[in-house]
A and B are shown apart, each in its own frame.
Chain A
């Protein structure tokens, strides 16, 4: 079984590795490269939502931070592109620690709000600072080698996938994270520090997103707040993961490929793409939630991601907390 999975993974990688040998059509390469990137964004978003049960409504923050760090270091400080990528990841990870520490102690609603507010706040900062070029954005030196970015994105995303797979499905860390999702207070009695583990998971999801952002900036050669910090980035990663199925790594990959393929097709055929696409994304989330709560992959394989999962993450906590909540609520209503 394990061998079979490895075999499938290697086969897919082999196919992806030789695609550029058959076509040098920049359009095709661009589409596939971007698809890799969205696979990466979807699986990293799922680290929080699916594995720890906390909704990150500001995943674009990390992508944008990464993009701006790469752009600023290259343009203002003359760093080489390769050197900026670790910095981009580091900056995103640092932002995750800062945003996560106060909010990951609390129930998931706070985290969802705080991450969203973070994204809006960072966008505003990027709009007013001089170093980011404000609303005009930043231009990077063009480096017109589609194959380079194709391979780079493929390698980084594949490495992220393997890293997440190892940490979440093989290493002790994964079991600890799942224990946290299933029963946080019970896990504490077993020597697990919830805030620490959740913050680690958050950093794990933010660092790769920052690196993707960095690659994106150099690849597209132009970034502005509307393109790298936009809601649509978070929304899209979220739709992909939810549609594919939370709590697994395969689900978001499938979701990302399908949604991205759909988007690409859709884009080619409709001019007023952005707005209709929003409606479709929104409808897709709502319909998936109502009709396929376990996502496509979860429904196909019967995976439910843990029966009690996310109960604590989002709404009600365990009984004791619940009681105080409701008493308070009633007193003051």
Chain B
């Protein structure tokens, strides 16, 4: 069993890579709008299916469609955000509770739409890279790295670096950080909160959808996959500490490792249970995440 250890670790790192991208977008949206989006898994699912159909129709390598998916879903997110904003800034009832309920309703609606259009079957996106793999060997140990997973890891790193540059080096990034820090003051300094929020939400939805395509190439997709990825996103964000972006990669990798170890050493049916137990322990011991720096 020890012989599988390097493989488990490498697998975990590569699965974790994809989770990083999902959770970073999710965390970003939370940081700016202060609500968590229960529809995150559904955005992933919809993105995955868009990638699937584009590939099926044109028979072109799905990875080329990543920008298309990003732009399209970015636009959807951009146009959608004002509705959430309207709920959040409502005068009646309890806006924050209602916003949460709202995203939950959206998730339900998207899932229903997904099931109607795509049916109940699982599929996977046919990528030319799915078949190939790299093998490494030293002594008794060997590791197989499917090319597509390697690509996924490269994609994750690229997105992470790009987002980091966007936030740290551009005027837009400055506006986002200002908004996360203090809404009123940022507004006074001439930052258009509404537009910036829309952009952030668009970017988040775009990234989630794009990651969906990669998930589709690596694993399988179905209209019911959303809930699982929503829970995993929450798991990462809570483990990292809500709103603490720097913790996200570590939490995502940890999740990837948990998943690959359960796959290789235990019963994969217990993965979600293990995830819940870890989540529970973290909330019990350190509700601010592994680094104690969350909200």
Measuring CB to CB, which residues of chain A are less than 8 angstroms from any residue of chain B?
A: 49, 53, 55, 57, 99, 101-103, 105-110, 112-114, 116-118, 120-121, 124-125, 127-128, 231, 235, 238, 242, 246, 272, 274-286, 288-290, 293-294, 298, 304-305, 309-311, 313-316, 321, 324-330, 332-333
Contacts and interface: CB of A to CB of B under 8 A. Distances in A.
A230 to B, nearest CB: 11
Given A278-B109, A326-B181, 20 more contacts: A57-B38, A57-B104, A101-B284, A102-B284, A117-B276, A125-B273, A246-B94, A272-B116, A276-B116, A281-B112, A285-B104, A285-B105, A286-B109, A294-B92, A309-B97, A314-B97, A328-B244, A332-B243, A332-B245, A332-B246
A184 B277 CA distance: 28
Nearest to A327: B181
Nearest to A293: B93
A330 B284 contact: no
Contacts of A330: 177-178, 180-181
Contacts of A235: 108
B97 A304 contact: no
Contacts of A49: 97
A229 to B, nearest CB: 13
Nearest to A275: B115
A314 B94 contact: yes
Given A102-B287, A282-B109, A293 B115 contact: no
A333 B175 CA distance: 11
Contacts of B242: 109-110
Main secondary structure of the interface of A (DSSP, over half): helix
Interface of B: 28, 31, 34-36, 38, 83, 86-87, 90, 92-102, 104-113, 115-116, 167, 176-178, 180-182, 227-228, 230-231, 234-235, 238, 242-247, 267, 269-270, 272-273, 275-277, 279-280, 283-284, 287, 293-295
Contacts of A231: 227
A73 to B, nearest CB: 23
Nearest to A309: B94
